[in-house]
Structure 1
Amino acid sequence: MEMARERQAPVAIDIHRAGQQLFHAALPGSAPDNDAWIARKRRVVERYNSASYLVGARHRAKGTTFEASSRLDPDTYAAHGGSFPITVEGAGVIGAVTVSGLPQLEDHKMVVEALETFLTHK
């Protein structure tokens, strides 16, 4: 969250584990719609055990879209950047960290950078 604040990013940030919300912040400039995007992107991570951006990119690489080829409700699932799986060795994917409020690649980059910083400073 510090990174987003320092950059004055208009984002909402969410951390979920096994269906339980552990953390949520809505920074200035974010909107209630960001919470809906968070839920939709997080569901992609929970279903595919991969980053939401990666899931969308895999479909685009096949010349299609996630919406067209997954046949999942787009009001429930969004394979757009910003949600990243939390993986624990021996347990697999246990949750997700999600950011919403920037263009999808920027949401994805912010999550990755924050996780890299966290893991480097543990």
Structure 2
Amino acid sequence: MTHTPATPDPSSEYDPDSSEPQPHGSLAALIGGVLAEMDALQFASFSKDDALDLGLLLVELGRQRSLPIAVDITKGEQVLFHAALDGATPDNERWINAKKRTAQRYEVPSLLVGLRARAAGGRIEDNAWFDQMEFAAHGGAFPIYVRGTGAVAVVTVSGLPQKADHDLVVEALRTVLTPGA
């Protein structure tokens, strides 16, 4: 008899874009997953060459999959990498900037900011102090963490549903941080 490893049921995952009832515990599980990603996906150091490698990998993944994405890697005010693939629109630039500002401000992935608000019983966008013209608590922006230092830059993808944007960034980070993978 062959044993097949259990795979998570995709229908049990929390969907931040859905207005439908979500599976019990799925929000907490997703928050825990993002926190684990933050801990695991840390660089020993981060250079402009690292930014170029990460950006080019995201472009390669996007082109292989025909994804209509824009990609940005920014350190402070300096853009280290920026590209828009076929299908990306000017709206993606607005989303990149808003998600990037959120990740910079809170020093956590933009997806986590939105998820934490939902866990508290609402949406961060419903607070008058959250300026939706400047910030977006939607997935796709992930701080570049250097172990022992903290957040030093932000990588952002826009063009897909927010969880898919986040997952693409995480996939690319895992790839560059796992040599030979």
TM-score where L is the length of structure 1: 0.95
Paired residue secondary structure (1:43): helix
Q: Deviations over 1:27-60 (max 9, x none)?
A: 0000011011000000011110000001100001
Q: What's the C-alpha RMSD, in Å, of the aligned pairs?
A: 1.2
Q: How many percent identity over aligned positions?
A: 52
- Distance, in Å, in 1 between the alignment partners of 2:161 and 2:128 is 22
Residue aligning to 1:79: 137
Letter in 2 for 1:13: V
Letter in 2 for 1:30: A
- Distance, in Å, in 2 between the alignment partners of 1:70 and 1:53 is 19
Evaluate the alpha carbon distance shift between residue 5 and residue 70 of structure 1 in structure 2; reply closer, same or farther with a 3 A threshold.
Answer: farther
- Distance, in Å, in 2 between the alignment partners of 1:78 and 1:110 is 18
Q: 1:71, CA displacement in angstroms?
A: 1.6
Aligned positions, number: 122
* Structure with larger Rg: 2
The runs of 5 or more residues in structure 1 that have no matched partner are none
Letter in 2 for 1:41: K
The runs of 5 or more residues in structure 2 that have no matched partner are 1-58
Paired residue secondary structure (1:121): coil
- Distance, in Å, in 2 between the alignment partners of 1:34 and 1:63 is 28
1:117 and 2:175 are equivalent in the alignment: yes
Give the structure with the higher percent strand.
1
Q: Which has the higher contact order (CA 8 A, sep 6+)?
A: 1
- Superposition map of 1:13-92 within 5 A: 13-69=71-127, 71-92=129-150
Letter in 2 for 1:10: P
Task: Could you list the structure 1 runs, at least 4 aligned residues long, displaced by more than 6 angstroms after superposition.
Answer: none
Q: 1:70, CA displacement in angstroms?
A: 6.8
- Distance, in Å, in 1 between the alignment partners of 2:70 and 2:150 is 25
TM-score where L is the length of structure 2: 0.65
